[in-house]
Amino acid sequence: MSQPTHRPVTADALPKPVGPYSPGMVFDRLVFVSGQGAADPTTGQMAGLDIVSQTEQVFRNIRTILEAAGTDLSHVLRCGVFLVDMRDFAAMNEVYARVFGDHRPARTTVQVAALPHPALRVEIDAVAYID
């Protein structure tokens, strides 16, 4: 029986981590995406200050990592959503529903006291599989 393998997800266009971690890790056919914020990887700047702009950028970042790993959003099994203000839930949820369409990954959403950047309103992580 062969040993399971793991590897970091790497590509030039990926968002740069703000700490000592990989944007994503592949373990056999599973892809674990680290929590993504709303920084645009091409500029390093926040995509916007509102929850809709930030959630859209978060999903662009997640999509980029998943594609670099060899999969896509239709293979996401679970997401963790971290909001600074639960009053942003409805607007975040509208973007989330639009991004996933009829696909409905498992999800946990919690309010947190703060995120790594003072203007950041949302962070999302994900677990997906490679088909």
Work out the mean pLDDT of the chain and round it to a whole number.
95
Lookup result for tokens 């997800």: 9
Query: Contact at 8 Å (CB) between 80 and 107?
Result: yes
DSSP assignment of 37-66, as one string?
-SB-TTT-SBS-SSHHHHHHHHHHHHHHHH
| Higher-confidence position of 130 and 2 | 130
Residues across the chain: 131
Q: Is the pLDDT of residue 1 over 80?
A: no
Helix (H) or strand (E) holding 75, with range, is none
pTM of structure: 0.95
CB atoms within 10 A of CB 98: 11
Query: Contact at 8 Å (CB) between 62 and 54?
Result: no
pLDDT, tens only, 3-61: 778 999 987 888 778 889 999 999 999 999 999 999 999 998 999 999 999 999 999 99
Q: What domains appear along the chain, each with residue ranges and CATH number?
A: 6-129 (3.30.1330.40)
